[in-house]
Structures are given as C-alpha cells and as structure tokens.
Amino acid sequence: MPNDKPKTKNDKRMGPLVGIIMGSDSDLTVMQAASDLLKEFGIAHEVTVISAHRTPLRMVDYAQKAKKRGLKVIIAGAGGAAHLPGMIASITPLPVVGVPIKSSNSIDGWDSVLSILQMPNGVPVATVALNAAKNAGILAAEIIGAFDPNVSKKVTTFKNSLSADVLKKVEKMKKAGWENKFD
Ligand code: RP5
C-alpha cells in the first residue's frame, strides 16, 4: 500500500477556483507560468504536487474532492509517462487542462504530449502545447470567465493587448521598408 494517505482536513473555506497540480516539484519551473497568469487575472488558485504513480491515493482523493471544495477547473502538468491529467479527468466532472512537460525522464516531450493528448472517448483533457503552462492559465481564466464577467473582461483586455502587440510589429515592419499592399 503506498504511503500517501489522504488528508482529512476540512477545506471548505472560500477557496481557490483553480487547482494547479503537477507530478513533481521539478515541474514547477514550467507550471509557475500558469500560476503567474492566474495571479495577473486575480483568480484564486492553489498549487501542489500530486504524482499519479507515486501518490495514487492522494490523486484519487484530490480528484474526488475537487468539485465539492469549490474548484471549477484543474490544470494538471506532468512529464514522461504523464498519466496525472487523464486520471484526474477520469474521476472529476470538472474540466481538466493538461500541460505536457519536457521533463528529465521525457523523450523530447513526445511521451508527455501523447500521454495527455490521446485520451479515450468520453474522458477529454484539454491539452495545451509542450510546456505551455501560460496557455493553460489562459484557458482556465476563459472557463472561469464564462460565469464571471469580471474575469471575462480581463481575458478580453488581455486578448486585445495581443492584437495591439502584433499591430505594432506590422508598423515596425512597414517602417523597416517591407511592402504590403493590404494596409
Ligand atoms: C513525472 O516525472 C513528473 O511529472 C515529472 O515531470 C517527472 C520527473 O519527476 P522527478 O523525478 O523530477 O520527481 O511524473
């Protein structure tokens, strides 16, 4: 029996809306970007380590309690044989965003990408690109924004800033002499 007994602590305070979990603390350098994005958007979230293989009972416990604890989305990152996002998705009715990580035990990240992406029918994981934890944060913010107009506004502002950045590049290229008959 693995030594990962679930904690019994009652955690019903007004708490996080997004749970960011990862297979190891070695994933944190990548997963930090999801937390940074949520902080920027003012979305309450929590961050912890849950290993599908090394703490399977903790994983089941977390997934079973997630909805009741008030979480609305789970972002799960893992590298190598990355079973965490899919297993969490198999237990919770909440949307799960998966972040494939190019970890020390990964074959160039492909193993993580395919493990998280190729889920069977009925158990989807919204898989972002390799190491793309920031996009996972944005996706989580969009999900929260579907029922929270304040967050939705922030997502819109963020997306507008992306357009503005590109338009600056358009002008920069024009100034550098690159021709464009479009605008
Ligand atoms: C995966 O194994 C973790 O998600 C991590 O990406 C990788 C390596 O873990 P450590 O050996 O650094 O703990 O389960």
From the alpha carbon of 27, which atom of ligand 1 is closest? 6
Nearest to 136 by CA among 160, 100, 90, 107: 100
pLDDT at 8 over 50: no
* Residue of the CA atom closest to atom 13 of ligand 1: 24
Q: What is the pTM of this model?
A: 0.91
Read off the pLDDT of each residue in 140-146 and give the average, rounded to a whole number: 98
Read off the pLDDT of each residue in 11-25 and give the average, rounded to a whole number: 84
For ligand 1, the distance from its centroid to the CA atom of residue 54, given in whole angstroms, is 10
For ligand 1, the distance from its centroid to the CA atom of residue 177, given in whole angstroms, is 48
Give pLDDT, residue 149. 97
Pocket of ligand 1 from Cβ distances under 6 Å: 22-24, 26-27, 51, 78-80, 101, 103-105
From the alpha carbon of 52, which atom of ligand 1 is closest? 14
